[in-house]
Amino acid sequence: MQKLIKLKPLFLATFLVASGWAQAADLLETFRAAQANDPVFAAARATQQAGQEKLPQGRSLLMPSINLNANTTYNDQNVQYGAALQSVPPAFAVIFPSESRFNSHSYGVSLVQPLFRQQYWLVYTESELQAAQAELQLKIAEQDLMLRVAQAYFDVLIAQDSVQLVNAQKTAISEQHAQAKRNFEVGTATITDTLEAQARYDLTGAQEIAAQNNLEIKRSALQQLINATPGDLTPLGKEFKLEVPQPANMEKWVEEAQLNNLQLAIAQASAEIAEKEVARNRGGHYPTVDIMANYSRNTNVGSLILGTESTNKTIGLQLNMPLFQGGVVNSKWREAEANRERARQELENGRRNVAQQARQAYLGVVSGVAQVQALQQALTSSESVLEASKLGQEVGVRTNLDVLNAQQQLFSTRRDLYQAQYDYLLSQLRLKQAVGSLGEEDLSKVNQTLH
């Protein structure tokens, strides 16, 4: 049952791809499709799997190593004896043959168990940190995928909104152009009103082409993530609400980022690895102690003299004490110390960057709330200005150009409001990423604002 539950996101993503996104997909569905199809995230997953192998590799250095060796040899010997033996009677010649042909076989097993190897132990502890880094890298890749999907998703939505707004503006200008033309024909308006409306209509036509082209580009960027042609996407709905970050204290968010930011955790692990590297290279001067055990068996078969067979068993301790290796140990020690200082500075730089990132994300949410509220008020004002301009044109106190300008202001304000709403939602996700807590539940919360 647990395996079935784990397969649900992948099955859903595969179904969405296979069905060509026949129905409108929301943000969460798009993210799961990207999880199954984005090559960048797939590469990060493979990197994590490779990084996990560092742990058994480091542990293996502390385990015994056992080797089996065997050989078989055919021997053809021709021995020439000195003059003293050449006078030996023929009856004794067989005892001292000049030629012999025989097979010799041997096999053996050897075991080495490290008892004291300071460098091996430090390599093992480093491998634990490297495996932890691999896990953190995968989590970072997943958070990055969430932001890339959200960015691409909202880019498509704002591009769709822009196309719809341009079309609506084009329709409104067309109506103004027709009205200006009628007024000119009956003599209540000048040709200037008609020409102004025509110029605005032609400009909107160019804007419509640019908006359509931008929409195709944004859809292509989303397609790259999910490996499928995206269909209709669920837009923002009535559930959209503005929320100030809690706690409403920027420094509290900075403190949390300093404790839990994933990039900072990786930098901290790198600094610890660099510290262990110093100790490991210093250990190049230390002695090593191993248990050595060996079993071997040798057999000579077919000898004209006499077949032989021998067995050898040994066990003992072996001490190695490096005395001088050309200065390489000290050189590597100095290199490790320099790398340790580099890791410390990179960690400090990471702390400062994380603090700045948290402040920017917090301010992005706070200013996003204020901007959306201001644009909502501006939209209401722009609608009033347009209505007043149309009424003024009817009574002769406003011109056709005033109405066209009011329409342009209304559509621009509405587009800016849409963009501000999407930016606000992205800022919320970036703030959670800055403090290292961005997860699927945060994406689901944003998804609830869609309908």
For the segment 207-217, what is each residue's pLDDT rounded down to a tens digit? Answer: 999 999 999 99
Q: Is 12 a residue whose pLDDT tops 80?
A: no
Give, in order, the Cα–Cα distances in Å from 287 to each of 167, 322, 335. Answer: 81, 7, 21
Q: Which two tokens stand for residue 238?
A: 């009535």
Same domain, 16 and 70: no
What pLDDT, on a 0 to 100 scale, did the predictor assign at position 156? 97
Least confident of 36-45, 76-85, 205-214: 76-85
Q: How far apart are CA 216 and CA 188, in angstroms?
A: 44
Q: Are residues 416 and 396 in the same domain?
A: yes
Rounded distance, CA 195 to CA 321, Å?
Answer: 96
Give the dihedral sign, CA 280/286/291/292: positive
- Are 47 and 73 part of one and the same domain? no
Domain presence at residue 249 = yes
**Of 292, 316, 295, 315, which is closest to residue 112 (Cα–Cα)?**
292
Residues 196, 337 share a domain = yes
User: Residue 283: CB partners within 8 Å, gap ≥ 6?
Assistant: 118, 119, 122
Using CA atoms, how far apart are residues 353 and 346, in angstroms rounded to an integer? 10
Answer whether residue 85 is part of any domain: no
Q: Is 342 within a domain?
A: yes
pTM (global) more than 0.75: yes
Could you tell me if 258 and 349 lie in one domain? yes
Burial (0-12, 13-18, 19+ Cβ within 10 Å), 285: middle
* 240 within some domain: yes
**Co-location of 41 and 143 in the same domain:** yes
Which candidate, 157, 237, 243, 180, places its Cα nearest to that of 419? Answer: 157
Boundary residue ending a domain (274, 296, 321): 321
What are the b/e assignments for 137-166, b being 16+ CB within 10 Å? Answer: bbbbbbbbbbbbbbbbbbbbbbbbbbbebb
Q: Has residue 10 got a pLDDT over 50?
A: no
89 falls in which pLDDT band (50, 70, 90)? Answer: low
Domain that holds residue 28: 2-62+121-284+330-447
- The answer to whether residue 358 sits within a structural domain is yes
Is the Cβ–Cβ distance between 435 and 358 less than 8 Å? yes
Q: Are 10 and 433 in contact (CB under 8 A)?
A: no
260 occurs within a structural domain: yes
Residue type, 63: M
Q: What is the pLDDT of residue 22?
A: 46
Indicate if 170 and 224 belong to the same structural domain.
Answer: yes
Number of domains in the chain: 2
Please check whether residues 172 and 309 belong to one and the same domain: no
Using 50, 70 and 90 to split pLDDT, how confident is the model at 349?
very high
What is the distance between the alpha carbons of residues 182 and 178, in angstroms, rounded to a whole number? 6
Mention every residue, 6+ apart, whose C-beta is less than 8 A from residue 38.
Answer: 145, 148, 225, 226, 227
Question: Reduced to 3 states, what is the DSSP secondary structure of residue 449?
Answer: coil
**What CATH number is attached to the domain comprising 422?**
1.20.1600.10
175 or 279, which is more confident:
279
In this structure, is residue 250 part of a structural domain? yes
What's the whole-number mean pLDDT along residues 332-336? 94
Q: Which residues pair with 247 in a beta bridge?
A: none
Q: What is the pLDDT of residue 192?
A: 82
Average the pLDDT over 342-371 and give the result.
96
Query: Has residue 84 been placed in a domain?
Result: no
- SS3 call for 123: helix
Kindly state whether residues 225 and 334 are assigned to the same domain: yes
pLDDT at 190: 75
Is the pLDDT at 397 greater than 90? The verdict is no
**pLDDT tens for each residue of 102-150:** 888 999 999 999 999 999 999 999 999 999 999 999 999 999 999 999 9
Question: What pLDDT, on a 0 to 100 scale, did the predictor assign at position 95?
Answer: 52
Do 313 and 378 sit in the same domain of this protein? no
Read off the pLDDT of each residue in 170-189 and give the average, rounded to a whole number.
78
Q: What count of other Cβ atoms lies within 10 Å of the Cβ of residue 39?
A: 10
CA atoms within 13 Å, Cβ hemisphere of 329: 13
Q: In the predicted model, what is the mean pLDDT of residues 382-411?
A: 86
353 and 310 share one domain: no
Residue 2 above 80 pLDDT?
no
Average predicted confidence (pLDDT) for the chain:
87
Residue 137 and residue 110 share a domain? no
We report the CATH number of the domain holding residue 303 as 2.20.200
